[in-house]
Amino acid sequence: MIPYDLHIHMILDGVDFRKAIGSHREHPCDALIRSRLEQYHAQGVTFLRDGGDAWDVSLRARELAKEYGIDYRSPAFPIYKKGHYGSFIGRGFSTLDDYRRLLDVLHEKKADFVKLMISGLIDFSRPNTLTEEGLSHEEICQLVELAHREGFAVMLHTNGDRAANAAMDAKGDSIEHGAFFSQETLLRIAKTRTLWVPTLSTIGNLIGCGRYPDAVLQPLLRKQQENVALVAQKGGLIGLGTDAGAYCVPHAEAISHERHYLSSIPDLLLHAAADFVRSKFCPNH
């Protein structure tokens, strides 16, 4: 069993994000957090990287995780640009000055790294479609550079070629999700050894659930698996992260689902990615 998950959201429950967030809205609910940490612990998990939330649930989880022998990393909240994807879970900015203020808040909250939303989501109802293209190349480079200057590594919610190439131009520290990459982008990810956490459970676990057409999901999962295999074969770094808490992605259990979707990737490569995250996604990197 893999003893880590490089992409989770403690605040979410895999079922209903509004209800899940509602349970923590007043203050983080320790009982819920503890029950999930207990599940991870029972499965032998010792390392988790959260994608963050605006209600300090991941920060509270980081505190409690010590009692369960879990090294827990949190970006406090994910940062998004107002008018773009991310408002349901993150904190938004409009100007670069607003963004700088959010970075100050991350310092106050002792965030381990910065999580940035730079693109839309996969539109599971249609083939090959993102909900939006996301931020401009220039903006992405500025945001990552400012975060790096403040000593933070940067985890990037990234779909589509433009966002991925901007992320790499900016020397972003990890690419999350990663739908609809061209061959050229995939080869560049491999060559630059940019960590890619493809969160295949967010696609594969939807197959057969009836919410979206399997005729969209099945070819997409297959394509993503091929892309991941290509990047690994060319020497790239693939990480195991499930996006646990996302719809149909249950905490702890999803690690074995993700391992199954990543069956072409040897354990050793996944472990190298986890080691990279352990050393990089902490302050002053």
Closer residue to Zn ion in complex, CB, 56/243: 243
Q: Is 258 in the site for Zn ion (CB under 5 A)?
A: no
C-alpha 280: how far from chain center: 15
Q: Which of 243, 249, 265, 281 binds Zn ion (CB under 5 A)?
A: 243
Closer residue to Zn ion in complex, CB, 52/236: 52
User: Residue 198: which residues within 8 A CB-CB, separation 6 or more?
Assistant: 177, 178, 224, 227, 228, 238, 262
Cα separation, 240 vs 112, whole angstroms = 19
DSSP H helical ranges for the chain: 17-22, 30-42, 57-65, 96-108, 137-149, 161-169, 183-192, 201-204, 214-233, 254-261, 267-280
Q: Is 75 in the site for Zn ion (CB under 5 A)?
A: no
Q: What is the number of other CB atoms lying within 10 angstroms of the CB of residue 83?
A: 9
Q: Is 120 in the site for Zn ion (CB under 5 A)?
A: no
Instruction: Name the minimum Å distance from CB 206 to Zn ion.
Output: 15
SS3 for 50? strand
- Segment interacting with Zn ion, rule: CB under 5 A, options 14-22, 47-55, 112-120, 142-150: 47-55
How many binding residues for Zn ion (CB under 5 A)?
2
Q: Please name the residue that has the structure tokens 């290509």.
A: 230
* Tokens at 247, concatenated: 């719809």
Closest residue by beta carbon to Zn ion: 51
Closer residue to Zn ion in complex, CB, 7/230: 7
Cα separation, 153 vs 169, whole angstroms = 15
* Tokens at 118, concatenated: 């730079």
Instruction: Name the minimum Å distance from CB 233 to Zn ion.
Output: 26
Instruction: Name the minimum Å distance from CB 48 to Zn ion.
Output: 13
Q: Is 204 in the site for Zn ion (CB under 5 A)?
A: no
Closer residue to Zn ion in complex, CB, 91/96: 91
Instruction: Name the minimum Å distance from CB 157 to Zn ion.
Output: 7
Closest CA to 274 of 178, 174, 164: 174
- Segment interacting with Zn ion, rule: CB under 5 A, options 46-54, 210-218, 247-255, 274-282: 46-54
Instruction: Name the minimum Å distance from CB 25 to Zn ion.
Output: 19
Q: Which of 51, 52, 236, 241 binds Zn ion (CB under 5 A)?
A: 51
* Interacting residue ranges for Zn ion, rule: CB under 5 A: 51, 243
